[in-house]
Amino acid sequence: MKMKTFNISLITIAAAALLLTSCQKKDKNSPGYEFMGKFDMYRSPAYKAYENNPYFSNGLTMQGHVDGTIPHSFDREKMVNYMPFPYANTPAARDSAKLYLRNPLQKTEDNLKMGEYNYNIYCAACHGKKGDGDGPVVGLLEKRNNMQLKPTPEQLKTATEGQIFYTTQYGKNNMGPYAAQLSAHERWQVVMYVQTLGGAAADSSASSTPKDTLK
């Protein structure tokens, strides 16, 4: 019995000594003693971006993109998808986008057709088929006597292309952003279609204002 008690005491003292030793730090930046070495999976070493790396056949740590993949900032049409969007969500940036942001797409039948298609899915519910602010959602607002949420025709028909695109990026008032639902390419198509609905800003591409296509 005494021997058993002695063994337990000895083990306890040894464990306490090991614990105290592992907690001591001669160097304040030292992590102390580690049970597992740095080459174990517990704490694997990291290679710096430009270091040689024996684990890859080309000996490089920083690898290029895989053949056939598309960088995150480009869509299938090789057009910049604005990640991050170069205009901040501020009044000053909104004014700048209104003046300088231009549609990089060519006005083609296919672009207009796709713009109309997505407009009818995402926009017509509030703005109406012709941009008159008489979409089916407006009927619900009328029943609830909540007409302050009704969009006006001027919101689409007198806005510049940059202003419309900026609104699809961040939203405005009661309209939420659509950057998560539609790519930049698709939203530019919608902008192009919206400008066929009429209004003073319908042909803003003919303006003498300097262009900023963000290509």
Domain membership of residue 14 (yes or no) is no
Q: What pLDDT, in 10s, does the model give residues 54-82?
A: 989 999 998 887 777 655 555 555 554 54
Residue 5 placed within a domain: no
- Describe the chain by its helix, strand, coil percentages, rounded to 5: 45, 5, 50
Q: Which of 166, 182, 167 is nearest to 115 (CA)?
A: 182
- Domain hosting 114: range is 91-206
Specify if 108 maps to a domain.
Answer: yes
Considering the domain boundaries, does residue 102 fall inside one? Answer: yes
**Alpha-carbon distance 199 to 161, whole Å?**
12
Does the reported pTM lie above 0.85? no
Characterize 14-48 residue by residue with b for buried, 16 or more Cβ atoms within 10 angstroms of its Cβ, and e for exposed.
eeeeeeeeeeeeeeeeeeeeeeeeeeeeeeeeeee
pLDDT tens, residue by residue, 126-155: 888 988 888 888 777 777 766 566 777 777
Structural domains of the chain, count: 1
- Number of Cβ within 10 Å of residue 109's Cβ equals 7
Domain-embedded: residue 103: yes
Contacts made by residues 25-32, CB under 8 angstroms, sequence distance 24+: none
- Cα gap 57→45, rounded to integer Å: 19
DSSP state for residue 60 in the 8-state scheme: B
C-alpha–C-alpha distance, residues 77 and 140, integer Å: 39
Q: Which residue has the higher pLDDT, 26 or 194?
A: 194
Per the CB < 8 A criterion, the answer to whether 105 and 189 are in contact is yes
- Residue 55 placed within a domain: no
Domain-located, residue 66: no
Quick one: pLDDT band at residue 6, thresholds 50, 70, 90?
Answer: low
Q: Is 64 a member of any domain? A: no
Instruction: Give the CATH number for residue 184.
Output: 1.10.760.10
